[in-house]
Amino acid sequence: MVNGYHPKDLIEALKIRAEVSCIPLAGGTDLMVQNARGTGLSPNFDKPLLFVGHLPELRHIEKKEGFLHIGPSVLLSEMLSHPFIPETFKKAISQMASPPTRNLATLGGNICNASPAGDTLPFLYAMDAELILENHAFDRRIPIEEFICGPKQTELKSDELLTDILIPTTLFPVSYYKKVGQRRGMSLTKVSFHGLAEIVDGYVEDLRMAFGSVAPTVVRSRDCENSLIGEPVSTLKSRFNEIWELYEPSIQPIDDARSTATYRKNVCYNILKDFLTHLENIKEIYNE
Amino acid sequence: MKIECTLNGQRKTLDVSSTRRLLDILREDFHLTAVKEGCGEGECGACMVLMDGKAVNACLIPAGNLMGKEIVTPEGFKESPRGKIIEEALIEAGAVQCGFCTPGFVMAIESLLNEHPHPTEENIREGLSGNLCRCTGYQMIFKSVRLAEEKGAGLW
Ligand SMILES: Cc1cc2nc3c(=O)[nH]c(=O)nc-3n(C[C@H](O)[C@H](O)[C@H](O)COP(=O)(O)OP(=O)(O)OC[C@H]3O[C@@H](n4cnc5c(N)ncnc54)[C@H](O)[C@@H]3O)c2cc1C
Ligand code: FES
Ligand code: FES
């Protein structure tokens, strides 16, 4: 049996995708570990692999018509050194894995792996990022929130590939990123949070808040965000408990090997409070 | 799958299963045993090699991703002027005990100095964050980076 396809371009890749049931592999940093069989052994896959990491059509970073377009096979390390990638997104990426793993891991892989702990996801959700999915005949555009439907579950069809990631080029003057985890170099996020805001004359003009690792998918409470838009930032401190009550139901963490649900919920409370009650003063904060 | 790549400066055509890990290809097919399998999950850095000049974990790379790539292992790097400096620096700093992690650190230090010829403390910690050492406690390894930076001035 053929156990791998190495297409020369996207057209060939999509043709293979249409004809054979296969697993796309970009950097392999998730797939090689998830399918590992132990010391000295090749990992085992139940379908042939379709290598997509090298495809030139999936390796762009460009700005076009109000969107930053990032090819899914762009490496995390390439994003870190590219001038078009927003600083606050780089902060999240620079805390993922270790430099050698970031020289292999891709943005598309992090999205399609659809882990609730995927560290690029809170930013992409907060920015209302959209994805282009293509098969040999058509392409469709879908918000990231609709693409990811649960842990390891996406709307990707068996003949499709993710071919583009679109991030609106809107700039947020206030940005805040926090990841709580263990040793760097390991994929052990307990809670991550990306907050973005625009404050004009002391009033909240726009506000985005997204939590990772606290529910089956990234959590963004639009009700809560909308209820705060137009409000004076100075009152958020005194109203925090009321705000938390609005946010809290969407935070449904689990007990797992990395942490307990109670711990995660406490961390969310503290992070949200830190972000909202310091909004007046925050320009760009980032903590380990 | 037939894979054309360069290994320690020599062109090779590998005829291997596309899912085979670079780590196993190096150790078993080429008997290049400086790369070690510590964790097999990208967390310890014992399997590190250079791919197109950048440090990567050989345990995470399937053969299919080697097409057209240039791979350098610690064996291939050792005799280069930079390789010699890093080796000397590690010895002088007392940064080697059991040695299991050492080849991986050599690759990580090369990649680090390549990117930051005059690294800050933070650059050093970040650059070596993908390598585990169970013996030395890291301080001597950090020191060896400083030594390599001094001794190898102009090389990076
Ligand atoms: C040591 C280590 C540390 C890590 N640390 C972190 C961390 O801190 N934070 C974090 O979020 N992640 C972490 N990860 C996980 C992983 O590195 C990332 O999720 C990475 O971005 C995955 O990219 P990849 O290209 O390697 O994915 P792959 O393993 O190649 O693929 C992942 C998934 O995406 C699919 N896929 C890939 N490309 C496409 C495409 N174009 N179209 C459709 N489907 C596609 C694959 O089929 C697969 O389901 C870590 C992993 C390791 C080994
Ligand atoms: S064996 Fe590859 S990183 Fe541990
Ligand atoms: S010297 Fe023994 S693991 Fe580093």
- pLDDT over 80 at A40, yes or no: yes
Residue with more model confidence, B126 or A282: B126
C-alpha span between A26 and A37 (Å, rounded) = 20
- What confidence tier does A189 reach under pLDDT thresholds 50, 70, 90? confident
Tell me: do A38 and A151 sit in the same domain: yes
Full domain range(s) for residue A265: 174-286
* Ligand nearest to the Cα of A133, by number: 1
Asked if pLDDT for residue A43 goes beyond 50, the answer is yes
How far away, in angstroms, is A183 Cα from ligand 2 center?
15
**Contact at CB, A100 and B56, closer than 8 angstroms:** yes
Detail the DSSP E strand segments found in B8-120.
Answer: 10-15, 48-51, 54-57, 70-72
What is the number of residues in chain A? 288
Distances (CA, A) of A76 to A51, A106, A110, B47: 18, 5, 10, 20
Residue nearest to ligand 1 atom 41, measured at CA: A162
Ranking A57-71, A88-102, A146-160, A176-190 by mean pLDDT, the lowest is: A176-190
> Residues of A with CB below 8 A from B63's CB?
4
* C-alpha distance from A56 to closest chain B C-alpha (Å): 14
Residue B39 CA, closest ligand 2 atom number: 4
Q: Report how far ligand 1's centroid is from the alpha carbon of A187 (Å).
A: 11
Co-location of A10 and A82 in the same domain: yes
Mutate to test the pocket of ligand 3, among B36, B97, B109, B131 (most ligand atoms within 8 A of CB): B97
Chain B: give the shortest CA distance to residue A113, in Å.
16
> pLDDT: is A260 or B148 the higher one?
B148
A99 and A186 share one domain: no
Q: Give the pLDDT score at A187.
A: 58
The pLDDT value recorded for residue A288 is: 33
- Give the pLDDT band of residue A205 (cuts 50, 70, 90): very high
Split into its structural domains, chain A has a count of: 2
**B34 vs A19, B19, B30, B73, CA distance in Å?**
41, 22, 11, 8
One domain, residues A250 and A182: yes
The full set of domains in chain B, from first to last, is 2-76 (3.10.20.30), 78-151 (1.10.150.120)
A76 CA from centroid of ligand 2 (Å): 19
pTM as predicted: 0.96
The pLDDT assigned to A186 comes to: 61
Model confidence band, residue A285 (pLDDT cutoffs 50, 70, 90): very low
Q: Domain end: A128, A145, A168, which one?
A: A168
Confidence at residue A281, expressed as pLDDT on a 0 to 100 scale: 75
Contact between B21 and A32 under an 8 Å Cβ cutoff? The reply is yes
Kindly report the nearest CA distance between residue B84 and chain A, in angstroms.
Answer: 22
Together in a domain, A199 and A262: yes
Same structural domain, A147 and A193 = no
What is the chain B residue with the closest CA to A94?
Answer: B126
CB–CB contact B1 A41 (8 Å): no
User: What DSSP character marks residue A168?
Assistant: E
Over residues A248-254, the mean pLDDT reads 87
Q: Is residue A263 domain-shared with residue A157, that is, in the same domain?
A: no
Ligand nearest to the CA of A148: 1
- Shared domain check, A30 and A158: yes
Which residue is it, tokens 């400086």? B34
Instruction: Check whether residue A107 and residue A225 sit in a common domain.
Output: no
- Report the range of poorest mean pLDDT among A223-232, A257-266, B55-64: A257-266
CB contact under 8 A, B129 and A99: yes
C-alpha closest to that of A25 among A119, A104, A100, A139: A104
Q: Considering only CB atoms, which chain B residues are within 8 Å of A27? A: 60, 65
Residues in chain B: 156
Question: pLDDT averaged over chain B?
Answer: 97
Q: Tell me the CA end-to-end span of chain B in Å, nearest whole number.
A: 37
Which residue has the CA at smallest separation from atom 3 of ligand 2?
B42
pLDDT tier for residue A260 given thresholds of 50, 70 and 90: confident
CATH number of A154's domain: 3.30.465.10
A105, A134, A168: which is the final residue of a domain?
A168
Written as one string, the DSSP assignment of A142-191 is EEHHHHEEETTEE---TT-EEEEEEEE----SEEEEEEE-SSTTS---SE
The label of the residue with tokens 């059991």 reads B98
Q: What is the pLDDT along chain B (156 residues), one digit of tens a residue?
A: 999 999 999 999 999 999 999 999 999 999 999 999 999 999 999 999 999 999 999 999 999 999 999 999 999 999 999 999 999 999 999 999 999 999 999 999 999 999 999 999 999 999 999 999 999 999 999 999 999 999 999 999
Please state the atom number of ligand 3 nearest to the C-alpha of residue B135.
2
Q: Choose the final residue of a domain: A168, A199, A217.
A: A168
Share of chain A above pLDDT 70, in %: 95
Q: Looking at the predicted complex, does its ipTM rise above 0.95?
A: yes
A193 pLDDT band, cuts 50/70/90, is very high
Give the 3-state secondary structure of residue A85. Answer: coil
CA distances to A28, A93, A113, A258, B53 from A34, in Å:
10, 21, 11, 17, 27
Q: Cβ of A97 under 8 Å from any chain B Cβ?
A: yes
Q: A131 CB under 6 A from ligand 1?
A: no
**Cα separation of A78 and A59, whole Å?**
10
Closest Cα to residue A144, out of A121, A163, A119, A172?
A121
> Both tokens of residue B109?
């230090």
**What is the average pLDDT across A168-188?**
82
Candidate from B45, B63, B67 with C-beta closest to A100: B45
Query: A138 and A183 share a domain?
Result: no
- pLDDT band at A286; cut points 50, 70, 90: very low
Confidence of residue A255 (pLDDT cuts 50, 70, 90): confident
CB-nearest partner of B65 from A41, A53, A77: A53
Question: Is A80 found in the same domain as A43?
Answer: yes
| CATH number (domain holding residue A216) | 3.30.390.50
Statement to judge: residues A22 and A148 lie in one domain: yes
Measured in angstroms, the CA of B124 and the nearest CA of chain A are apart by: 11
